[in-house]
Amino acid sequence: MKFKDLQKKPAADLEKELKNSALELMKLRAQVATGGAGKDAGKIRTLKRTIARIKTLQGVSSKQ
């Protein structure tokens, strides 16, 4: 998800998105660890970036 799209969302929605992304990332990592889901490697990278963007946005909004 792009940063501009995340900026438009309210804080409650960002928190939900963060939890969902973290849970999905954990599931994908478990699949990779057990030897499966080789086709979803790009999804892991995308989820990690989305989580970082949300955390960055939450850090910026808490300082204001």
d(CA 46, CA 35): 20
Q: Is 14:52 a contact under the CB 8 Å cutoff?
A: no
Higher local confidence (pLDDT), 48 or 62: 48
- What is the reported pLDDT for 37? 65
Question: pLDDT of 14-61, one tens digit each?
Answer: 999 999 999 999 999 988 888 876 677 789 999 999 999 999 998 876
CB-based contacts of 27, cutoff 8 Å, min separation 6: none
- CA 46, CA 14: separation in Å to the nearest integer? 16
- What distance in Å separates the CA atoms of residue 33 and residue 27, rounded to the nearest whole number? 10
What pLDDT score does 64 carry? Answer: 60
- Looking at the chain, the number of H-run helices and the number of E-run strands are 3, 0
